[in-house]
Amino acid sequence: MKSAPFLIRPTVLVVLLAGLGLSPQTRADPLEVLWYTYAAAGSEYRQKISQLSRMVHTLPQSDGSGWNLTYWHAGDPAPDFTAFDVLVIESGEAFLTGPPDGPPARPDFSGILDNKTALEAARGGRAFITTSDADFHAIRGDAGSVPVDPDAPNRGGRCVPAITAPECWDGALGHAVNAINWAGNGNGLGIVSFLDGEFEGSFWWTHPDSFLRDELDGYIEYAGSEQNPIINPCQALHPLNAGLTSAGLSNWTNSFHATFLPIHGYAPVVSSSLRPGSAVAIAKSDAWLDPWNSVTLLGVVGEEEDDECASPQATSRQNELQTGEAGNVGEAADTGAPSSGAR
């Protein structure tokens, strides 16, 4: 006979999140944001990211955090990582990265790879990794909640103007800003990494010199794009998904470009509909102590009541976000899970 799941109502879960330091926090001083980029100085990418940094604290849906933005360009000397709250790593999708009227810049993550030891030493308690190039999609204005209209500019599906229009938030903009604000409000240097693909020279997550290799290698599936991600009711409670919906993260052409198998220590922030049990965005925090880390971002909905969250430790159903025994993940990887080696 199946044991009854231990159900936690969302209102109770909010209290648990606050007790674990997972509720939104606004600090008086701006976040020191270090943005690793290979984009040209005069590129639309740099111009729009700089614009975002100047007004991010005014976005009504954000937590009010301001940013002091510093670019770390590929080829520049490494900065003092301890001087920053969060390291944001540009995606490998090189759209809008070239000089005006010029071709896209070639992705170059040599700065990240050449400073593995220093990054590991400075790394703090929070990390957010997404298979979306939400940095690019945010400055393009992609928001799945905006209706597609063949007669509208860009056929609809985008907010106009990008970044500042109210409807931008429930899309790439909110996905990116929530991640940076959350990661930057932890201990030490938070990490935000957008998709490491897909332009030539971009795949770095599992490169031998990557500080993320030991965590991600063997758990990434790059085949197929995810256009209909899922924010389940429990994930929706977390500040990483504040103001976001599944619809808003959908249909950016393409929203997410890979999926993650369950990874010990990480919890899914956004789940995959393409590969049930996998995620398209994951996060970890030193505040998520077992067994409660699986409560904060469960991804398991009580079978009896869809609006309630079930603790995986108390159910017979496997938690799609947690692996249970670490060995289960390894077994999955050994039985056909693709290796994500650098390309």
pLDDT at residue 197 in the model:
78
Domains: count for the chain: 1
- Judged by average pLDDT, the poorest of 203-207, 282-286, 316-320 is 316-320
Largest Cα span, the chain: 67
Output the CA torsion sign for 228, 232, 236, 240: negative
Six-digit token string for 335: 């039985």
pLDDT at residue 259 in the model:
95
Output the CA torsion sign for 156, 162, 166, 167: positive
H, E, C per residue of 62-93: CCCCCEEEEEEECCCCCCCHHHCCEEEECCEC
Which pTM does this prediction carry? Answer: 0.80
Six-digit token string for 341: 């080696």
98-116 per-position pLDDT tens digit: 999 999 999 999 999 999 9
214-235 per-position pLDDT tens digit: 999 999 999 888 889 999 999 9
Integer distance in angstroms from the first to the last C-alpha of the chain? Answer: 48
Q: Look at residue 315 and tell me if it is in a domain.
A: no
Tell me which residue range forms the domain holding 220.
Answer: 26-293
pLDDT band at 26 (very low <50, low <70, confident <90, very high): low
Rounded CA-CA distance 114/8 in Å is 45
Q: Look at residue 136 and tell me if it is in a domain.
A: yes
Q: Look at residue 21 and tell me if it is in a domain.
A: no
Q: Look at residue 336 and tell me if it is in a domain.
A: no
DSSP letter (8 states) at residue 200: T
Q: Look at residue 151 and tell me if it is in a domain.
A: yes
Q: Look at residue 331 and tell me if it is in a domain.
A: no
Q: Look at residue 187 and tell me if it is in a domain.
A: yes
Six-digit token string for 296: 């904060």
Q: Look at residue 85 and tell me if it is in a domain.
A: yes
